[in-house]
Amino acid sequence: MAALRISEIYIYPIKSLGGISLQQAQVEERGFRHDRRWMLIDAANNFLTQRQHAHMALLQVALQPDGLEVRHKHGLLGPLFVPFGQTEGPELQVRIWDDTCTALEVSPAISAWFAEALQMPARLVYMPPTSERKVDPTYAQQDEIVGFADGYPFLLIGQASLDDLNSRLQAPVPMNRFRPNLVFTGGAPFAEDSFGHFQVSQTRFRAAKPCGRCVVTTIDQGSGQKGAEPLKTLSTYRLVNNKVMFGQNLVHDGAGQLQVGDELVVQEWRP
CATH number of the domain residue 163 falls in? 2.40.33.20
Compute how many other C-beta atoms are within 10 angstroms of the C-beta atom of residue 238.
20
| CA neighbor of 161 nearest in space, from 139, 146, 177, 142 | 177
Is-contact 264 184, C-beta < 8 A? yes
Any domain includes 271: no
**Predicted pLDDT of residue 21:** 98
| Residues spanned by the domain of 60 | 4-266
Any domain includes 24: yes
Give residue-wise pLDDT tens across range 35-80.
999 999 999 999 999 999 999 999 999 999 999 999 999 988 999 9
| CA neighbor of 244 nearest in space, from 226, 231, 258 | 231
Cα 236–chain centre separation: 25
Q: Report the share of the chain in percent with pLDDT over 70.
A: 100
Any domain includes 108: yes
Kindly tell me if the per-residue pLDDT of 222 is higher than 90. yes
Any domain includes 248: yes
Is-contact 70 80, C-beta < 8 A? yes
**Predicted pLDDT of residue 2:** 82
